[in-house]
Homo-oligomer: A and B are copies of this chain.
Amino acid sequence: MYKVKVFVTLRESVLDPQGVAVKHSLHSMDYKDVSDVRVGKYMELTIEKTEKDVEEQVKEMCNRLLANPVIEDYRYEIEECVAQ
């Protein structure tokens, strides 16, 4: 069994309205030292171990569904868990 962590963020060149909104809220709560906020998605997947290459599967899932390759970047961490 694998535990996969996927991080999806907007590309640097893409405006992040959510991040801007969060920053303004933090400023209005007096956290003026916050100079930038970027908001993205964080997913934890549990994948059963099979003969297929898990990394290939994760890349495909990211490119086809979990991330929008036009405006988003993604990275992932794959951890194999030994079933108790």
A-side residues, CB < 8 A to B, are: 1, 7-9, 19, 22, 25-26, 29, 31, 33-50, 52, 57, 60-61, 64-66
Contacts and interface: CB of A to CB of B under 8 A. Distances in A.
A1 to B, nearest CB: 8
Taken together, the copies of this chain in the complex come to 2
Contacts of A9: 42, 44
A42 B73 CA distance: 13
Contacts of A46: 34-37
A47 B36 CA distance: 7
Nearest to A8: B42
B57 A31 contact: yes
A41 B39 contact: yes
